[in-house]
A and B are shown apart, each in its own frame.
Chain A
Amino acid sequence: AQTVTQSQPEMSVQEAETVTLSCTYDTSENNYYLFWYKQPPSRQMILVIRQEAYKQQNATENRFSVNFQKAAKSFSLKISDSQLGDTAMYFCAFMNVRGGTSYGKLTFGQGTILTVHP
């Protein structure tokens, strides 16, 4: 079974600065997807970024980028130029893409609460 660990329950950052959220995972699979989801105070889950394990290039989406270290099973999220609207809980998630009963299922970490201060 896969496990996802987010070791930082809470983080804070000043507006316009950069912050990195950590995520590690454990799996015996070779191909899989990793996701970062954002849950703002409205509690609506929103996809931030996605990474396929076979791709060596780190994914980027505007101010959001990841540092994917496959051998270390690490998948951190970097938020540049932080904005007040980035305040949210951030979840790291793992998806197995091999066939079988775990296909397409997401396994989530415990979440990191990020607060952006003005």
Chain B
Amino acid sequence: DGGITQSPKYLFRKEGQNVTLSCEQNLNHDAMYWYRQDPGQGLRLIYYSQIVNDFQKGDIAEGYSVSREKKESFPLTVTSAQKNPTAFYLCASSPSGVIGNEQFFGPGTRLTVL
């Protein structure tokens, strides 16, 4: 089945530690995105990548880093510099080259900082 997988579903981290969230897709999509969702707020874009080996900062990139070494994978690292990392993180992908494409979302990772 084609789709987007995120792992783990729940993640706990101690303050001061870096942690990496996984996002994999087998939809052959060029573009991939990371969003953060907080209670009472909509999704906010952290980073996005429209092609392998290239990515851009979104609206709230501080304290996060990404890589895009393979088309299928777009891992997100939450660094110790992120002041308030507890949130729900969603990964999405879409085919590029067609205007107005739907973004397909993964099931999300809930990160809690202890």
Contact = CB atoms under 8 A, between A and B. Distances in A.
A44 B48 CA distance: 19
A4 B42 contact: yes
B105 interface: yes
A101 B101 CA distance: 16
A104 B43 contact: no
A95 interface: yes
Contact-residue size bin, chain B (C-beta under 8 Å from the other chain): 20 to 34
Interface stretch (B11-19, B62-70, B75-83, B88-96): B88-96
Contacts of B2: none
Given A43-B108, A45-B90, A110-B40, A105 B100 contact: no
Interface of A: 4, 6, 9, 33, 35, 42-47, 50, 52, 91, 93, 95, 97, 101, 104-111
Contact of B100 (A33, A107, A109, A110): A33
A19 B59 CA distance: 32
Contacts of B107: 42-44
